[in-house]
């Protein structure tokens, strides 16, 4: 049974703030294994931002995705704060 069978239908998003050590230091191997587990469960929508570890989450996602392209596709979103001026 996959995670999708247990949750409501619709796209699931992997929030990658923890990969940027936002809540605690995540070792490289654990970060890679976490992204791999999400990928194996069918997650193809990943949220990231430059503020997540000063780009660390983006670098870790890139390394975890290496070798999966171009045979598969995924979506990555990034939200960047903008100044009022």
Give the residue numbers annotated as catalytic, written as ranges: 52
Show the CA angle centred on residue 26, arms to residues 38 and 13, nearest 5°: 30
**Cβ contact 64:36 at 8 Å:** yes
DSSP state of 18: G
């Amino acid at each position: 049974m996959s995670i999708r069978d247990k949750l409501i239908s619709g796209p699931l998003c992997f929030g990658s703030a923890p990969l940027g050590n936002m809540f605690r230091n995540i070792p490289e191997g654990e970060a890679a294994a976490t992204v791999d587990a999400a990928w194996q469960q069918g997650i193809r929508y990943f949220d990231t931002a430059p503020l997540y570890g000063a780009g660390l989450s983006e670098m870790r996602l890139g390394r975890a995705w290496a070798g999966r392209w171009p045979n598969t596709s995924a979506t990555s979103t990034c939200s960047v704060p903008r100044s009022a001026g």
